[in-house]
Amino acid sequence: MQKFVPTAYIKTIEPEKDKVGIDKPTPVIGYDYALIAGKSVPDDVVQRIVKAMQDNPDKVRNIYKAFSQFTHENMMPIFPRMTVHKRVENYYAEAGLME
């Protein structure tokens, strides 16, 4: 699996009324999302977006069902071959979220 989708992992989902066909704990493939900014996006805009996400996790979780498990701890997954914006690294370091 990870040969084709390096960031994929197995997670177990529990039955819920809106999960059609899931009648017992079921292992599924999961993967993380990334918010990507182009090089032309100003540093202050990147910082404001990251700060807004950090300051408002409940709002992030309500944007889209895939974000429902968003937390500060899982806010910056590591993606092979993808660099992190320097301002994001600085913000995370300043906020104590990374070494």
Half-sphere exposure in the Cβ direction for 29 (13 Å, CA): 7
Q: Residue 47's domain spans which residues?
A: 34-99
Most confidently modeled range among 48-52, 77-81, 93-97: 48-52
> Are 40 and 5 contained in the same domain?
no
Q: Is the pLDDT of residue 90 over 80?
A: yes
Q: What is the pLDDT of residues 69-87, one digit of tens each?
A: 888 777 777 777 778 888 8
> Are 18 and 61 contained in the same domain?
no
Mean pLDDT confidence for 16-41 = 89
> Are 5 and 45 contained in the same domain?
no
Q: Based on the structure, what is the number of domains in the chain?
A: 2
> Are 68 and 54 contained in the same domain?
yes
Residues in Cβ contact with 31 at an 8 Å cutoff, skipping those fewer than 6 apart: 5, 7, 8, 9
Q: Is the pLDDT of residue 5 over 90?
A: no
